[in-house]
Structures are given as C-alpha cells and as structure tokens.
Amino acid sequence: MNHLLPIAALAFALLAPAAQAKTVAVTDAQNGKAVTLFAGDTLVVHLAIKSAAASEWHVVYGPEGMLRLNGQPRYLYPPTHTILVYSGGPAILEFRFTVSGSKQSYVKGAWLRFLFLDPFEPGVKDAKLWQLQYTIKATQ
C-alpha cells in the first residue's frame, strides 16, 4: 500500500490547479512606477500616440529571457472610429509581454523602457522616454 502513496501524490500535483497567472495592465500614468509580476503572468503596456499614421513607441530596453514580447504591438483605436482605414489621430499602442521563468526565477528592480519618436517633429527634444520598474517573484 505504501508504494501507491508516491503515485497518488504525483497525480495530485499534476492535476492540481497551478497558481493563477494574471494580466497586469499599465498605461502612460504608470511612467516610472513599479509592478510585481510572477512567472506566467502577462504584462500589457498601453501607451498613447498622437497619430497612428506616424508616431510610434519602441522597446529600447528589456532584459531578455524574463519578459518575452508577444508579437508585434497593435494599435487600439478610439471607440468612435468608424472608417475602415484609420488615417491618423490619437490611438493607443499595445505591447504584450509574457513573464517567463520558473519558480526559482527572481528579478528585482529591473527596467522595461520605451522610446517615443515622432518623425514629423524633428529634434531630439521630441523624443520621450517611458519606463516601468518591475520585480519578478518566484511564488505568489
């Protein structure tokens, strides 16, 4: 009977629900702020742009391996948008990251940084930096 105990424990561990991964969303207002994340979480960054036709945010720093960008950023248009081809005006650029790592992973005080460039406004003074400090903890 004792030999069944390890098998039952293994089955329970495999079938038990894992810690719930969550989605953490941040916006322009969290510039310079800090968030805590866990392996499996999704970090969604929403940054405003003046014109979807010209201006853009670019990821300029993010430690490889811990935050993985899920594909290309996508544009989110205002709810009043009814034209098939959006020709400009304000919008939101959405970046989605998956927090990778294992239960042993731990990162404290790392930075994710974005640079805003507007090609129609020449000069370095028109570039903006947006950053988010994050900590990845091993367990919730």
Q: What structural domains and CATH numbers belong to the chain?
A: 17-137 (2.60.40.2020)
How far apart CA 51 and CA 60 sit, in angstroms, is 20
pLDDT digits (tens, 9 = 90+) for 79-134: 665 554 555 667 889 999 998 866 566 788 889 999 987 666 555 556 789 999 99
- pLDDT per position as a tens digit, 13-36: 444 445 688 999 999 999 999 999
- Sheet with 128-137, strands from edge to edge, namely 34-38, 128-137, 107-117, 56-61
pTM score above 0.85: no
Cα separation, 132 vs 28, in Å, equals: 10
